[in-house]
């Protein structure tokens, strides 16, 4: 399934290395499981990410205060939880239709 509203997802953490890369890999797995294709998934530090870099930003909940300039954000309470990520991604894509 290709969703027109979300074409790029940016996964962010404080440094742009460990956590954001792990979230990116999990987002790619979740999209595949949800049957969603045609979406570019990237990772970056919050300080290097710009609001127009992606249609959806996925970050840990501890960084919520730094995401106000981003258009659409998925906040993860537990960045290791695939069920949480899948549920929140599905909701974001459903809302984007």
CA distances 7 to 40, 49, 57, 63, 64, Å, are 6, 16, 11, 23, 22
The pLDDT confidence band at residue 17, using thresholds 50, 70 and 90, is confident
Cβ atoms within 10 Å, residue 95: 10
Predicted TM-score of the model (pTM): 0.92
Domains within the chain, CATH numbers bracketed: 8-96 (3.40.50.2300)
pLDDT in tens, 29-88: 999 999 999 999 999 999 899 999 999 999 999 999 999 999 999 999 999 999 999 999
Contact 56, 88 (CB under 8 A): no
């Amino acid at each position: 399934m290709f969703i027109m509203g979300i074409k790029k997802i940016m996964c962010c953490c404080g440094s742009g290395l460990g956590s954001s890369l792990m979230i990116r890999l999990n987002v790619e797995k979740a999209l595949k499981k949800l049957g969603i294709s045609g979406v570019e998934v990237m990772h970056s530090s919050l300080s290097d990410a710009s609001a127009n870099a992606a249609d959806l930003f996925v970050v840990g909940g501890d960084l919520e205060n730094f995401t106000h300039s981003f258009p659409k954000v998925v906040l993860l309470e537990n960045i290791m939880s695939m069920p949480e990520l899948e549920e929140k991604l599905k909701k974001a894509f459903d809302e984007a239709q």
